[in-house]
Structure 1
Amino acid sequence: MRLPIVAALCVMLAACQPTPAEPAVKYAWIRLPAVPGRPGAAYFTLAAGSGAITLVSVKTPAAKRAELHETMAGGHGATTMAALDRVAVSANAAATFAPGGRHVMLFDMDPALKSGDETIVTLGLADGRTLEATATVRGAGDATP
């Protein structure tokens, strides 16, 4: 008699376990350059989920080339920018790519893009997985989403 009760309790407890969260890209958007022909930038939040991940690349049909970058404070109130090879994100944490910090530089952008358009950004992880998100295109003078 006890065996069916114990089995039922085990099934109920197993159902209560949270499903491991998968990595996800949220809040993706692209800023068009203020001067045509100059680089634009992509921004987003990358959530790692239940396991640590490492971002190693970003691609989009909106640009011929994309590079991970970070803006940092320099001397005398100036800022500098440095390319990043990778961005590690700890389990259950997120990395934010936003103006004034980490971002993706977009070179040779599609000149037909305009504010309000949408395009895909594809993030490449070190383990070979890719994540896709739809990014809204914003003009140089548009408000930050």
Structure 2
Amino acid sequence: MKNTLTRLAATAGLLVTLGLAGCGDDSAAGSTPSPAPSPAAALTIRDPWVKAAPAGTMTAAFGVLVNDTGADITVAAAESPASPMELHEMTMKDGKMVMQPKEGGFVIKANGTHELSPGGDHLMLMNPARAIEAGDEVSFTLKLGDGTTVPFTAIAKPYAGAGESYDPGMSMAPMGSAAP
């Protein structure tokens, strides 16, 4: 029995030694380190949804963009088979809140988030060919500044919100003031 235990201990020691030898720095052997994860793999969208709307009516998609990397990520564009798209923001002009294309895209800071919400930044569906009805699943692809893409699906929801409209020339009263 003692002889068997000695052999098992010696075998285990040999296996540990061989295993540790495989864990050493092999850069001298000419191998390359593993590449860092791509930005697309680290950008996700949490709670994505799209406002239900009739065919031909502008609408928008929302959610929270989450960047789990140590570097800023830029969303440069968005696409959907449901409609031509633009990245939009809300901004003050002449005392009114207006919607306009977002120049330079959405920048999601390192290890940060960026909210897409009604009355704020959003993914604009310019002219859906068919109605987007509550419960529909709509496919999107975000195009990042480095050329990579991030696909996601959003569920359509009915949403009246503050009565906002995504039609051209849309404006809203500033927060805290009454609409004219």
* TM-score computed with the length of structure 2 as normaliser: 0.61
Q: Are the structure 2 counterparts of residues 61 and 136 from structure 1 closer, same or farther at C-alpha, using a change threshold of 3 Å?
A: same
- For residues 120 and 112 of structure 2, the distance between their equivalents in structure 1, rounded to whole angstroms, comes to 17
Whether the aligned pair in 2 keeps the contact of 1:49 and 1:91 (CA below 8 Å) is yes
The structure 2 residue matched to 1:81, chosen from 96, 99, 117, is 99
Residue 82 (structure 2) pairs with residue 62 (structure 1): yes
Segments of 5+ residues of structure 1 without an aligned counterpart are: 12-18
Structural RMSD (CA):
2.7
Does 1:71 pair with 2:71? no
- What percent identity do the matched residue pairs reach? 30
**Deviation of 1:36 (Å):** 4.7
Deviation string for 1:79-133 (max 9, x for gaps)?
Answer: 1112113111111011110011101111111324311111211111011111111
Which residue does the alignment assign to 2:128? 109
Amino acid at match of 2:62: Y
Does residue 42 of structure 1 match 2:61?
A: yes
More strand by share: 1
Question: Of 72, 80, 93, which aligns to 2:112?
Answer: 93
Per the TM alignment, residue 66 of structure 1 is displaced from its structure 2 partner at its CA by: 0.6
| Distance in structure 2 (CA, Å) of the matches to 1:108 and 1:80 | 19
Q: Cα deviation per residue 1:32-55 (whole Å; 9 max; x = unaligned)? A: 33x652201111211121121000
Residue matched to 2:44:
24
Q: Which has the larger radius of gyration?
A: 2
List structure 1 runs of 4+ shifted beyond 3 angstroms: 73-76
The one-letter code of the counterpart of 1:105 is M
CA distance in 1, matches of 2:159, 2:56: 13
Q: Is the 8 A contact 2:55 2:131 kept in 1?
A: no
Q: Which runs of 5+ in 2 are unaligned?
A: 1-16, 25-35, 162-180
Letter in structure 2 aligned against 1:82: Q
Structure 2 residue identity aligned to 1:81:
M
Q: Which has the higher contact order (CA 8 A, sep 6+)?
A: 1
Distance 1:121 1:41, change over 3 A: same
Shift of 1:25: 1.4
| Distance in 1 (alpha carbons) for counterparts of 2:152 and 2:81 | 12
CA contact (8 A) 2:45 2:152 kept: yes
